[in-house]
Amino acid sequence: MSVLAEKVMTRDWDKPGQNTLAGYQKNGGYQQLKKALTMQPAAITDEVKKSGLRGRGGAGFPTGLKWSFVPSLEKNTKPRYLAVNADESEPGTAKDRFILENDPHLLLEGIGITCFALGAHACYIYARGEFKYPSAVLDKAIAEAYAAGIFGKKLMGTDYELNVYQVRGAGAYICGEETALLESLEGKKGWPRLKPPFPAVVGLFGCPTVVNNVETIAALPRIIEKGSDWFMKLGTGKSGGTRLVTLSGSVNRPGTYEVAMDTSLRELIYDKAYGQGMPAGRSVKAVVPGGSSAPVLTANELDVKLEFDAFKPTNSMAGSGGVMVMDDTTCIVRCAWRVARFYAEESCGQCTPCREGQPWLSRLFRKIEEGRGELADLDTIEQVARGIAPWPPIGLGTTICALGDAGALPAQAFLTKFRKEFEDHIAQKCCPHGAAPWGFFGEFK
């Protein structure tokens, strides 16, 4: 049994007034920024390296290492920027919005610490356009911080200038991808850039830029407060800290939970503190473990821990922590279609395999779900998916950005792991789950 030794991210969420400056300061807020400003910037980056903090946006990339790719001011005299990724649009993921809604100053304090460490004097927080309420809370927090002299010409009264702006997207999943995000911040459509060069060297306005997720940056005040050893020890393996996961779909108690890294999917679904098990009479059929870009797992794979490296043997990923549960009455073909349709809609259209392939996958899944499928379609699905992202190994796509893989690999996993369901649809010339409702699908009370 894993236990959450202590709350880290959600520690103060239920304290009254926590999302106001006064409330935040009452609980010790901005003391860590004050402390960080007395440290050497390089020492902050070192602490972050030692803490084992890994990116919470999806890839789990070591944060301190990413920061160290920013060239020194002697080598590159351009201004440098921090871009905070608050696009939160990976299907299944609902965590960053709660940081913005419940503890916006925690993020802002993390931004102060990070910018000082990087030598950045401006930060843009890119929030998805649909976040009307979370963005309003954040705007208010930013205004409070300026009014209190925390941001502006004199960061916390020092001679360091820092400006923080929120920019809102306008409805495009691809703008969560870091280089598309930068394009969007520059006022353009969200077309990902070829890498290298990486944003740490050539990012926003051609300047060195670090892109980090909201949850990643919001961990900074805690690391400064309690030290890298403490943070590392909270975690598992090479991943420090705790993490926020979103549990959704067919479980008794869906929700956003802070969990220890060594919590398994099974514990998350069944534990009293989290999902509290399956609805009466239902059992787990499949779980998408890390946002819809993470290939699906079967009921036999629930013992995997929610830590980043633990997922390698499953060929899936911990991703953004969006755990979606499908029960034994759910039609997998319909799930595969829902997911494929999303990537088809959201492909930016820049690379041929992705622009043409994702809609093709979506059409094939729909054809099978509607009872018009043929066995040859199953081979076509596999071929099209392979055309976008050849496997193995995972993640070496033929496309500019990882959205290609994000659509292709789940399509392949749905098909290979639940092939019999696809074949049944084809043999019976209809969805074996009957006309609506398809399990939970369509049941709206």
Please give the residue ranges that form the binding site for ligand FMN (CB under 6 A).
Answer: 55-59, 61, 85, 87-90, 174, 176-178, 211-213, 216, 401-403, 406
Residue at token pair 């965590």: 95
Strand partners, 264: 305
**Binding string to another protein for residues 114 to 143, with x set by CB under 8 A, is what?**
--------------xxxxxx----------
247 binds, options another protein, ligand SF4, ligand FMN, none, Cβ within 5 to 8 A by partner type: another protein
- For residue 77, the one-letter residue type is T
> Is there binding between residue 349 and ligand SF4 (CB under 6 A)?
yes
How far is residue 397's CA from residue 91's CA, in Å, rounded to a whole number?
Answer: 21
Strands 255-260 and 242-249: antiparallel
- Nearest approach, Cβ of residue 67 and another protein (Å): 23
Task: State the nearest-atom distance from the C-beta of 174 to ligand SF4, in Å.
Answer: 5
| Residue 203: contacted member of ligand FMN, another protein, ligand SF4, none (CB under 5 to 8 Å, by partner type) | none
One-letter amino acid of 416: T
Say how far apart CA 266 and CA 312 lie, in whole Å.
18
Rounded to an integer, what distance in angstroms lies between the CA atom of residue 397 and that of residue 413? 16
> Could you give the dihedral angle defined by the CA atoms of residues 391, 394, 399 and 400, in that order, rounded to the nearest 10 degrees?
-160
Site string for another protein, 340-369 (x = CB under 8 A): --x--xx-----------------------
Q: Which residues have CB under 8 Å from 53's CB, separation 6+?
A: 62, 63, 64, 216, 219, 223, 231, 240, 241
347 is a contact residue toward ligand SF4 (CB under 6 A): yes
Cis previous bond, 437, omega within 30: yes
Task: Confirm or reject binding of residue 354 to ligand SF4 (CB under 6 A).
Answer: yes
| Binding-residue total with another protein (CB under 8 A) | 62
Residue 89 CA to residue 372 CA, distance in Å, equals: 32
Query: CB-wise, 199 or 439, nearer to ligand FMN?
Result: 199
Amino acid at 351: C
Interatomic CA distance for residues 208 and 349, integer angstroms: 27
By beta-carbon proximity to ligand FMN, the closer residue of 85 and 316 is: 85
Q: Which is nearer to ligand SF4, 15 or 355 (CB)?
A: 355
Using CB under 6 A, which of 216, 246, 399, 412 touches ligand SF4?
Answer: 399
What is the C-alpha to C-alpha distance for residues 196 and 213, in angstroms, rounded to an integer? 20
143-182: contacts with ligand SF4 (CB under 6 A): 174
* CB of 197 vs another protein, minimal distance in Å: 19
Residue 211, binding choice from ligand FMN, another protein, ligand SF4, none, Cβ under 5 to 8 Å by partner class: ligand FMN
Alpha-helix runs per DSSP H in 309-374: 332-346, 352-369
Tokens, residue 135? 């963005």
415 binds ligand SF4 (CB under 6 A): no
Q: Judged by CB under 8 A, does residue 442 bind another protein?
A: yes
In sequence order, which ranges of 187-264 are alpha helices (DSSP H)? 214-218, 220-226, 228-234
355 scored as a contact of ligand SF4 (CB under 6 A): yes
Interacting residues toward ligand SF4 by CB under 6 A: 174, 192, 347-351, 354-355, 399-401, 403-404
